[in-house]
Structure 1
């Protein structure tokens, strides 16, 4: 089964914002390890950037919109695209790019667990993709209602089975 890696919204404005993502250094390390293993397996890598409207802090091209400097991005080889909604598919050509590459399975990592990661996992399944969600490969920030750790645990449990195959990142392309 042809597999691609999809990295969602790991951008300066979210990663270095006033509220830091839960276990941000560990998650960054996990994502970078997956990037290296995807490259070794010749799996395509897609980076999604959440893009706000003109004048917003994350408008296209702004400093906060940039992918986080600690990511191992190869812009000459990796696929970078912009999105304006929680789904990586809505209003983008991601589905067409994946179809052209004959991708059947997506490994999804990044931010934020309860918004873009959750939505993209669900939509990917609706579009016919098999989805692997490394339980240790996505993150978010604390909210007034729940800690980031609780949000991540809840989404791992909720998405497992019906929407995603749940694994540890170390077991992908190992």
Structure 2
């Protein structure tokens, strides 16, 4: 089944901002390995960045809005796009592009687990794709209510119960 890798909101301002993502360096390393594996297997890579309103730290064009340089994404090879809502399908061409590439299996990684990862996994399933949530390649920050590790664990359990297949990065074979 044709597959694609979807990298969500791995942006300078979110990753290197005042609040640090849980296990950020390990998550980044896992995503980098998945990117390398996707390139070798000629699996399409889609990377989305969240665009905040004018004047926000992640407004279009701001330094914090940029995707992490460490990902080494290439606009000539990869599909880079912007969104303004948590769901990466809302108001974007993502569904059409995936359908055009005949993608069934959509490997989902990035930030933040309780917002964009959650809503995109649910939307992907609703749209007929087969989302695979890479459990050791998504993250978020601590909140006043819960530590990030608990949020991640909860979302793995919830999304894995009804919306996505769970997979470890070491088990991914595109």
State the TM bucket, normalised to the shorter chain: over 0.9
Q: Which runs of 4+ in 1 moved over 2 A?
A: none
Unaligned runs of 5+ in 1: none
2: CA distance, partners of 1:85 / 1:158 = 21
Task: Establish whether residue 12 from structure 1 lines up as the match of residue 12 from structure 2.
Answer: yes
Which structure 2 residues correspond to residues 111-122 of structure 1 after superposition, within 5 A? 111-122=111-122
What is the rounded CA distance, in whole Å, between the counterparts of 1:5 and 1:62 in structure 2? 25
What's the counterpart of residue 132 of structure 1? 132
Shift of 1:155: 0.4
Report matched runs for 1:145-164 at 5 Å: 145-164=145-164
RMSD: 0.9
Shift of 1:71: 1.2
SS in 2 for 1:166: strand
TM-score, length-normalised on structure 2?
A: 0.98
TM-score w.r.t. length of structure 1: 0.98
In the TM superposition, what whole-angstrom CA distance separates every residue of 1:36-76 from its partner, at most 9, and x where no partner exists? 11111111000000001222211111100000122121221
Superposed counterparts of 1:1-174, under 5 Å: 1-173=1-173
* Mapped partners of 1:143, 1:117: distance in 2: 16
| Aligned positions, number | 174
Q: Secondary structure at the match of 2:162?
A: coil
